[in-house]
Amino acid sequence: MRHTVSIVVVSALVVLASLVSSQPARASATFTIVNLDGPGEGFNDPTAAAPVGGNRGTTIGQQRLNAFQHAADIWGNLVNSPVVIRVEAKFDPLSCSTNSAVLGSAGPKTVHRDFFPGAPVSNTLYIRAGPGE
């Protein structure tokens, strides 16, 4: 069941990225996927896999990472940023039952209210990268 859910998540990301990619590119940003999975799991799953659908990965983990990076590259054509956007990601199993399933989840690493001097708008939540980011 876990492997099936993983395939569904990757497929959903690729489909969403493909839909977005049909829009004309007007911007440029670099998105980098930061792999937070441990050895042998998620993006690092060493299970052999045949390349499929343009994904040249030869392991399940590499195919997952390739799909995520492909989606990030598509977003890079839609977002304008001179700063490299780092996306910390893990490919963990999510809840699934016969009636529902979580395909993915995301959110900021930290959120602060008026955290820095000179915040442009008071009483507003701002996402702030960690030190050196």
The whole-model pTM stands at 0.65
Which amino acid belongs to residue 54? G
Give the residue-averaged pLDDT of 59-85: 92
Chain centroid to Cα 8, Å, comes to 15
Cβ atoms of residues 77 and 18 within 8 Å: no
* Proportion of the chain above pLDDT 70, given as a percent: 74
Task: Provide the pLDDT for residue 118.
Answer: 74
- pLDDT band for 111, please (50, 70, 90 cuts): confident
Residue 39: C-alpha distances to residues 1, 35, 49, 109 (Å): 21, 11, 17, 23
Q: Which residues make Cβ contacts (< 8 Å) with residue 17, sequence separation at least 6?
A: 70, 71, 74, 75
Task: Provide the pLDDT for residue 95.
Answer: 86
**Secondary structure class of 133 (helix, strand, coil):** coil
Cβ atoms of residues 66 and 74 within 8 Å: no
